[in-house]
Structure 1
């Protein structure tokens, strides 16, 4: 892991993310790219008479950046700062690609309706669109995670995500507990059907990511979200890992809405990787 991208709105939520990013950066000897989305109107940017106003906001933001990044916990870490006039949070993915970021660490308070930038809806947009793994940090700013729940549907299309998530947790020295949530109704599978799917998944895994069928816990609940949260609570997990289809998902597991609900409602940090 060489570069970690942190979206910054100068709130306590983005500082929580910055602190966590600094902990990871120190362990991985990685650099941090802090990005602020200025979000000025097109009029301010394009009209000549408004150019001075645009420059004022840009200089003000740069000054706030210097103050915001003047933290003891960032000492020894190479920090890059960038200001973009983006107003659509899906464009965070463009910044991540521009800087070859390996991970996005983002603060969020979920869907409580407060007026900071990183409300649930904006975090969801990043989770939904980012090709780069996203670590969403909630309340608190320490990151002493030692045990993770990774929930998957164990379909073959999820193999790449499985490999990416488990490799990130391995880098962070986090033990991974594997989970399949079995649902009632039309999505219900018998134990035998689930075991066959998991066995087929294992056969197609490559490298040193081999697992045994008994390494996957089959947990029944009324929704994927409830199953993930209840199992995480049962084993006292510190972090949740989930795949997401974004808005393209046709499968019932980890479609955009399910993944976003987990990110929004979880009190634990959530690592998402797009399928």
Structure 2
């Protein structure tokens, strides 16, 4: 039934747990995993004179390296289980849009993703990429905690 699984990762402990579940899920269904890590671009805000601004190139290099490590974790777990894997690094201010677009582009039939389960003001101010994915996709989404 499920042959192409999209697995977003942010490198968190919850994403690691989701990886283990997704690999087992893929193995049971004879599916492949498409992993995606979305990097948000350098947040440049003009500041007052004399303010210290981090180096955008260093910022991007570090985020790309972290995204690659996150995808390598999935790749290693998938390889150990004999599950086909493809990894994608995307750059966007809207991670949920990249997740939904990747699912469509790679013909995924389900999205498995972790949710931090934020509540109250944290949920209001930080938002939830998982909720945004749920609102903008027609695919089944398995939310893991």
Instruction: Indicate the TM-score class for this superposition, using the shorter chain for normalisation.
Output: 0.7 to 0.9
Are positions 1:75 and 2:81 aligned together?
A: yes
What's the TM-score once normalised by structure 2's chain length? 0.74
**Equivalent-residue separation in structure 2 for 1:73 and 1:120 (angstroms):** 33
Query: Which residue of structure 1 lines up, in the alignment, with residue 35 of structure 2?
Result: 34
Larger deviation: 67-76 or 120-129? 67-76
Cα pair distance change 1:41/1:79, threshold 3 Å: same
Following superposition, the deviation at residue 112 of structure 1 comes to: 3.9
- Residue ranges of structure 1 left out of the alignment (5+ in a row): 44-48, 139-275
Following superposition, the deviation at residue 73 of structure 1 comes to: 8.3
Deviations, residues 30-72 of structure 1 (Å, cap 9, x unaligned) = 00011001112376xxxxx845653443234213432454338
What's the TM-score once normalised by structure 1's chain length? 0.41
State the secondary structure of the residue aligned to 1:6: strand
Q: Tell which structure's C-alpha radius of gyration is larger.
A: 1
**Equivalent-residue separation in structure 1 for 2:43 and 2:17 (angstroms):** 31
Query: Which residue of structure 1 lines up, in the alignment, with residue 21 of structure 2?
Result: 20
| 2:109 aligns with one of 102, 106, 120 | 102
Following superposition, the deviation at residue 131 of structure 1 comes to: 2.2
Query: Which residue of structure 1 lines up, in the alignment, with residue 9 of structure 2?
Result: 8
Cα pair distance change 1:103/1:65, threshold 3 Å: same
Bigger relative contact order (CA 8 A; separation at least 6): 2
CA RMSD of aligned residues (A): 2.9
**Equivalent-residue separation in structure 2 for 1:3 and 1:72 (angstroms):** 13
**Equivalent-residue separation in structure 2 for 1:87 and 1:20 (angstroms):** 28
- Residue ranges of structure 2 left out of the alignment (5+ in a row): 45-54
Cα pair distance change 1:22/1:41, threshold 3 Å: same
Are positions 1:121 and 2:128 aligned together?
A: yes
Query: Which residue of structure 1 lines up, in the alignment, with residue 92 of structure 2?
Result: 86
